[in-house]
């Protein structure tokens, strides 16, 4: 019975740890995507400005 409780606690901890890691990775991906869009937008704007002038 004690072993079962310990296993349940380990599984719960592993699930919480996986959720936390996935959340951090997801936030990192969102920030990387926003940075990429920002850089791409700046490059496109620079090219467009050069073509107009």
Query: Which tens digit of pLDDT belongs to each residue from 6-47?
Result: 999 999 999 999 999 999 999 999 999 999 999 999 999 998
Q: What is the pLDDT of residue 3?
A: 93
Q: What is the pLDDT of residue 51?
A: 73
Is the whole model's pTM more than 0.85, yes or no? no
Q: What is the pLDDT of residue 49?
A: 86
CA atoms within 13 A on the CB side of 30: 6
Structure tokens at 47: 């090219």
Question: Does 53 score more than 60 pLDDT?
Answer: no
H/E stretch holding 3 reads helix 2-52
């Amino acid at each position: 019975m004690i072993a079962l409780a310990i296993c349940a606690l380990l599984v719960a901890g592993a699930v919480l740890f996986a959720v936390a890691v996935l959340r951090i990775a997801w936030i990192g991906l969102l920030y990387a995507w926003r940075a990429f869009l920002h850089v791409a937008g700046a490059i496109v704007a620079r090219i467009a400005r050069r073509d107009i002038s």
